[in-house]
Structure 1
Amino acid sequence: MTDEALLLVAARFPRALGAVLGGSAAQGRATPLSDLDLAVLLPRDDTTRREVVRHQGRLAELFLHTVADVDDAFERERVHRRGTLVHIYAQGLPLLDPHGDLTRVRTQARTVLAAGPVPLTTAERARSRYLLTCFMDDLLDTPTAERYDQLAVADHTLREASHLLTAHHGAWTGIGKWLPRRLLGADTARGTALLEGHRIVAEQGDPGPLAAAAEEVLGLVGGPLREGYVQK
């Protein structure tokens, strides 16, 4: 897939100062339907943006940043805690680097990746504890016969518990298929308990294991939060 990616960059961005292939393609986990995740470094007089295109029949998601904007982009990702761009630059496969700009940015990305996301504030942590407590309580209170309700609450429980657990470890989080990958990378034992609990809800309708795993996460950050919570 590197050849496909190089052809795309050459055709659309002839002045590119660097390009990196990330995602499943860079990890050797691509499927026939996988898209190309490409970070492209552009000259200062270009425009930072995000595009989705189709190239040779395959979708490609393009993360386009000028050399002047990439520092701010990395800092925004630390605040958002997912670090998609940071991971692509730090861990992806370099495709071209005509003047050495990409080498500098990749070194910077590795530094940002190692530093981790911005820690949760006291207010953010309290809100996450409160939300996870609510989802956990709703999960246990929802009748198994109400499958749509149960599955929806289970999804929210998993996401909030993952957000809180990765934040507790100072680790990056993710969405979609990257949520379990980041979760297991941050805490293999507790992450597995959450994911297995979610699977059991989906397959068996039993909320107990997921609720127990969520409560264990809450125990790391002060326990469940119900009465007394104030949002300012």
Structure 2
Amino acid sequence: MLELENVEAYYGDSRVLQGVSLSVKDGEFVSILGRNGVGKTTLIRSILGLMDRVEGSIQLDGTDIKRFKTHDRALAGIGYVPQGRGILPKFTVRQNLMLGTFANPKSNRGNGARIAEWVFELFPILREFLDRRGGNLSGGQQQQLAIARTLLSEPKIILLDEPTEGIQPNIVEQIEQVLIDLNRKHGKTIVLIEQNIGFARRASQHFAIMDRGQVAARGPVQELTDQLVHRHLAV
């Protein structure tokens, strides 16, 4: 599904990623772990085409997308839920959700497109707040909105950057379960940037730990030992 080989990424002349190789299979749930500032978000930005310069190979379904514009990568099937959620605060919940249809090549891209009913089955609170401005939702509700908006693009792969950060525990549990169900029951391919080790262990099949712009460890989630966590993730 997603194949990165020897990827190096730059902010100006500063190299942030150093020879990162990563493979995500169709239907897999992979967690990318690491301390703050080790390159996790830069990795996501490289996949999305948001870096100043990227070297190496990035392939989606066998197609080299490194030269694709960001919007073309979205149309190719990459869905993204950013850190901080990225909802439009003055838009209503309905309007925020409609934006997701613009990246769905199967829809009318906003022109007469409809919000799929299954979105409200996943996140019932959104139906209740359809005409409420996004900025008036709680942090947890905004995160549900951000995930729902991304799902409406019907992506091949979903990239999430710390979706549980700063959210009340009961909503965290709901979001965790939705992501697990999307993967297990609906076969969605998910790449999760996360510092919540418990979540990563519960949800993932595989993990990769980043340190200083490189992949320091990887493997099946059963190999995410306390020793690895202490060595690479303890503050």
Query: Which structure: larger Rg?
Result: 1
- What TM bracket, shorter-length normalisation? under 0.3
Q: TM-score, normalising length from structure 2? A: 0.27
Q: TM-score, normalising length from structure 1? A: 0.27
